[in-house]
Amino acid sequence: MSIINVDNVKLNGSDGKAILKGISFAVEEGDFLGVLGPSGAGKSSLFKLLNRLLTPTSGEIYYRGKNIKEYDPIKLRREIGYVLQKPYLFGQKVLEDLTYPFRLRQEKPDMELIYKYLIHANLKEEILFQKPTSLSGGEAQRISLIRSLLVRPKVLLLDEITSALDSENTRAILNLIRKEKEEKGLTILAITHNLEAFNFQKVLYLSEGQVEYFGEGKN
Ligand SMILES: Nc1ncnc2c1ncn2[C@@H]1O[C@H](COP(=O)(O)OP(=O)(O)OP(=O)(O)O)[C@@H](O)[C@H]1O
């Protein structure tokens, strides 16, 4: 069974304009899928639908064979994590952001795991005691990604998370993602313009709200 099934999904904007015009595709567990296409093609709208931040005008979306309408949205969002281009950190200290996923589950924070992620992301322990506002864009993006991973999602939606980063930070982020994918079999859908760095197995190419290509990554 595919982990995600998108079946003839249409989405109209608040002005009635067709944003997605009947798209269908399936994502298999463990896929690393690039969601590509020109600006305005409907990529971010698709992610919002998968996360139930938007509802399709028609068509259905299934997660593990069950219509996403039947999931509690909060539970669904823990399974399908969403990382945005602009990281949003809310703690007084970075530590608060990274212990938040444990508080959600009413668990004691696993500091060993937090340290492990920091090392994988090429960050120092001291960052835990910094204010989020004092971080560089690349540091904040890595902390935001680690926080999402600590929620233990099964699927991650990444929306242009490396677009503001230099090549070194991009590499650090991608190492973290690949490690997680190898260790946990995480399924990843990523919107990016940096095709070379991501090196996708599969690609969904959207154009004007339609699927223009869905298949193997062309490298
Ligand atoms: N709520 C809305 N009402 C009307 N139109 C909308 C709404 N949200 C998005 N759009 C329009 O839908 C189209 C697709 O937007 P979307 O953000 O999904 O594209 P995208 O492929 O992610 O583009 P980009 O790469 O620039 O982020 C755009 O033309 C956008 O202006």
ipTM of the complex: 0.91
State the distance from the centre of ligand 1 to the C-alpha of 19, rounded, in angstroms: 7
Measured in angstroms, how far is the CA atom of residue 134 from the centroid of ligand 1? 31
Q: What is the pLDDT of residue 219?
A: 53
CA 37 to CA 22: how far, in whole Å?
Answer: 16
Q: Which residues line ligand 1 (CB under 6 A)?
A: 13-15, 17, 19, 37, 39-45
**Nearest CA, atom 10, ligand 1:** 13
Query: What does the pLDDT read at residue 168?
Result: 87
- Ligand 1 atom 16, closest CA: 42
185: DSSP letter: -
Would you state the pLDDT for residue 218?
67
Instruction: Domains for the chain: give ranges and CATH numbers.
Output: 4-216 (3.40.50.300)
What residues contact 136, with CB distance under 8 A and at least 6 apart?
A: none
The ligand 1 atom at the shortest distance from the C-alpha of residue 209 is: 14
State residue 194's pLDDT score.
87
pLDDT of residue 9: 98
| Confidence (pTM) | 0.92
* Model pLDDT, residue 199: 87
pLDDT at site 169? 85
Cα of 162 vs centre of ligand 1, distance in Å, is 20
6 burial type by CB count under 10 A (0-12 exposed, 13-18 middle, 19+ buried)? buried
Residues lower than pLDDT 50 in the chain = none
Q: What is the pLDDT of residue 75?
A: 94
CA of residue 62 to ligand 1 center, whole Å: 22
Cβ atoms 133, 127 nearer than 8 A: no
Closest Cα to atom 8, ligand 1: which residue?
A: 13
| CA-proximal residue: ligand 1, atom 6 (nearest) | 13
Q: How high is the pLDDT of residue 74? A: 93
Protein residue with least CA distance to atom 5, ligand 1? 13
User: Who's near 134: CB < 8 A, 6+ residues apart?
Assistant: none
Rounded to 5°, the CA angle 30-119-78 comes to 40
Mutate to test the pocket of ligand 1, among 15, 17, 19, 193 (most ligand atoms within 8 A of CB): 19
Task: Tell me, in angstroms, the distance from the centre of ligand 1 to residue 20's CA.
Answer: 9
Contact between 23 and 210 under an 8 Å Cβ cutoff? The reply is: yes
Q: What is the Rg, in whole angstroms, of the alpha carbon atoms belonging to the chain?
A: 17
